[in-house]
Every structure is written in C-alpha cells, then in structure tokens.
Amino acid sequence: MKKEIGIIGYPLGHTMSPTIHESAFNKLELDMKFNIWETKPENLEQAINNLRNNNILGSCVTLPHKFKVINFLDELDETAVEMKAVNWIVNNDGKLVGHNTDWEGFTKSLDFINYNIQNKISLILGAGGSAKAVCMSLLKGDAKKIYVYNRTKANSTNLVENFSKHKSRIHIIEKNNLEDPKFLNDIDMIINTTSLGMTGGPNPSISPINTDIINKNALCYDLVYSPSITPFLSGAKKNNIKYLGGLSMLVFQAALGFKLTTKLDPPIENMLKSVGIES
Ligand code: NDP
C-alpha cells in the first residue's frame, strides 16, 4: 500500500505543504501521497488516531492544534516537551511520537543566509506558538539578549516563564520601547511572530513596528510568508534594511519533518525551489 504523510490543521485552504513535499517525492521518485487533513478542533482526537494506520508515516500539525495535540500522543521528544508544542507526529508502528521542528527550521533559515545568532540582541514581536520556537532557537544559538513585546502582556509572561532557566537573557518590554529609537538602536534582529500582515488574517495591512526608526543595520525577519513581502518587510525595504520572509523557515521545518517520517535525506534544494527560493 502507498505510504502517506500529510498535514492536520484548520483551516488549510492555502497550505503550501503539498507543494513542498510533493517536490521531494518527485525528486526521490517515491510513490507516496501527501494528504490535507483539514480538522476542526472537535475532530482532532479521531484525526490523530487515524495516523496509527500502518500506511501512514506521520503528519505535520499546524494551527490551531500544536498544543492540544499533545493530549492524544504516546510520547514527545525533548524539545516538544520543553516547548509544550508539536508540529510533527511520527507513527512508529502505531505509537505516535510528537516532535517540534519549528525552532530548528528557524535556525536553518538563518544559517541559509549566513546569519549568526551568537551574541546578537533580538526583539521578538508576539508571544504565541511561533514566538516560542524563535525563542528556543535564539537560546540554543547563544543569543546575547532577547526582548519580547506582545499585545497581551500575560502571554509574554507565559513565554518567559516557559524558558525560566534562561531568565537572565529574556526580558519583557513595554509598547513605549517600540517607539524609542535609542532602545531600537541596540537591536540586531527584529522578528515578527504575530499574525499582523498575514493575508486573510485580522490585520493584513499593518506592520507590527515602525521601520523608519529602527537600527538600519538590523535584520527584519517576518515569520509570515503570505504575502512574501509583508507590510513589515516592505517598510524594511523602503529603509534599505536587510529582511527575510517566513517561507524558507516553512521549508526547513518541512524538510526536518520529511526526514523524521520517511527516514530519508530531504532534497532541500528542490523543496526550496518548489516555493520559488533558489539556493
Ligand atoms: P499564535 O496564534 O500562537 O500567536 C499569534 C500572535 O499574534 C500572538 O502573540 C498575538 O497576540 C498576536 N496578534 C494577533 N493579532 C494581533 C493584533 N491585531 N495585534 C497585535 N498582535 C496580534 O500564532 P503563531 O505564533 O503560531 O503564528 C503567528 C504567525 O506566524 C502566523 O502568521 C503564522 O502563519 C506564522 N508562522 C510561520 C511559520 C513559518 O514556518 N514561517 C511557522 C509558524 C507560524 P496576543 O497574545 O495579544 O493575542
């Protein structure tokens, strides 16, 4: 029987995952199928149990299920435990193991442009699931300092508490810091992890920060990948500031999941090319 992988999330209308994985199946001449398992929260348990089928190697997990899915798994890897979030499930002969490849996808996207996190000062905008992945990546990469700003302060507090072992390196900031050029001047990298600027999201035309007053040598990184140039990145471009969109992270987290599920080395160049990124 054909081996299968897929994606579980809701909604999944514009997912790029099939394109990325099918490019890998084609390159490696694998007779495999990629499924879009659009799953409402009330059907999550059933969708996860379906993964125990022996023709299914595993599945990517996306919004809004990255946390709740943990309840239905048999085991978690070390980073999924630390982050309390899962974005890939591997079916090991009926035993479902949760992994998190988002943080490493973020690290690899920076490696890809030869950007070294070590000793850098970063500002994370947002404190949801992807902010946690970014935080994990920055901590593992020996970042010097991480500032976090989020609309809802309680969520920034949760994020920082999640990494309480590293509390000397993570600090919550207030909204007025985002308008203070002196504060912003020390920041090497600004990462938008909010859904501001996302097509189909609540505020597609808004940048999370005024790019006219930030350090011109900073890197502006937007995790949002649709559109490829978000309002935040368009502001960076206008100010001649280096920028990176979220598409390469999406591919790298997918490639790591491909390896976990198929046990094969992912053809990363083809996977990047499938979404228009030349390596
Ligand atoms: P979450 O729902 O976990 O977090 C959303 C974040 O956005 C929260 O911090 C929330 O703040 C903030 N936010 C939402 N609306 C507003 C608003 N109107 N004003 C200010 N802040 C707002 O989502 P994720 O972290 O999982 O995903 C966030 C974005 O990152 C999405 O666009 C997603 O597509 C992208 N992403 C990209 C990946 C990639 O591989 N490139 C991987 C994962 C995510 P509050 O706490 O106040 O609600």
Domains of the chain: residue spans and CATH: 3-100+250-273 (3.40.50.10860), 104-245 (3.40.50.720)
Q: Give the atom of ligand 1 at the shortest distance from the alpha carbon of 203.
A: 18
Q: Give the atom of ligand 1 at the shortest distance from the alpha carbon of 130.
A: 25
Q: Is 66 designated active site? A: yes
Contact 20, 251 (CB under 8 A): yes
Number of CB atoms found within 10 A of residue 40's CB: 11
Mean pLDDT of 240-244: 98
Q: Give the atom of ligand 1 at the shortest distance from the alpha carbon of 106.
A: 40
Going by CA atoms, what residue is nearest to atom 13 of ligand 1? 194
Mean pLDDT of 189-201: 95
Apex CA 158: angle with CA 157 and CA 164, to 5°?
85
Going by CA atoms, what residue is nearest to atom 34 of ligand 1? 224
Number of CB atoms found within 10 A of residue 215's CB: 19
Closest of 177, 196, 195, 198 to residue 121, by C-alpha: 177
Choose the residue to mutate in 151, 232, 233, 277 for probing ligand 1, maximizing ligand atoms within 8 Å of C-beta. 151
Q: Is the peptide bond before 267 cis (omega within 30 degrees of 0)?
A: no
Residue 222 has pLDDT above 90, yes or no: yes
Going by CA atoms, what residue is nearest to atom 31 of ligand 1? 195
Q: Report CA-CA distances (Å) from 266 to 27, 34, 77.
A: 9, 15, 20
Number of CB atoms found within 10 A of residue 259's CB: 16
Contact 35, 5 (CB under 8 A): yes
201: confidence class by pLDDT, cuts 50, 70, 90: confident
Closest of 185, 195, 196, 197 to residue 241, by C-alpha: 185
Catalytic member of 66, 108, 120, 132 = 66
Q: How far is CA 105 from the centre of its chain?
A: 7
Going by CA atoms, what residue is nearest to atom 27 of ligand 1? 130
Pocket of ligand 1 (CB under 6 A): 63, 102, 105, 126-131, 150-152, 155, 193-196, 198, 202-203, 223-225, 246, 249-250, 253
pLDDT digits (tens, 9 = 90+) for 117-153: 999 999 999 999 999 999 999 999 999 999 999 999 9
**Three-state secondary structure readout of the chain:** CCEEEEEEECCCCCCCHHHHHHHHHHHCCCCEEEEEEECCHHHHHHHHHHCCCCCECEEEECCCCCCHHHHHCCEECHHHHHHCCCCEEEEECCEEEEECCHHHHHHHHHHHCCCCCCCCEEEEECCCHHHHHHHHHHHHCCCCEEEEECCCHHHHHHHHHHCHHHCCCEEECCHHHHHCHHHHHCCCEEEECCCCCCCCCCCCCCCCCCHHHCCCCCEEEECCCCCCCCHHHHHHHHCCCEEECCHHHHHHHHHHHHHHHHCCCCCHHHHHHHCCCCC
Query: In the chain, pLDDT over 70 holds for what percent of residues?
Result: 100
Going by CA atoms, what residue is nearest to atom 2 of ligand 1? 128
Distance 153 CA to ligand 1 centre (A): 14
Mean pLDDT of 76-86: 94
90: confidence class by pLDDT, cuts 50, 70, 90: very high
Distance 195 CA to ligand 1 centre (A): 4
Number of CB atoms found within 10 A of residue 270's CB: 17
How far is the C-alpha of 163 from the C-alpha of 24, rounded, in Å? Answer: 35
72: confidence class by pLDDT, cuts 50, 70, 90: very high
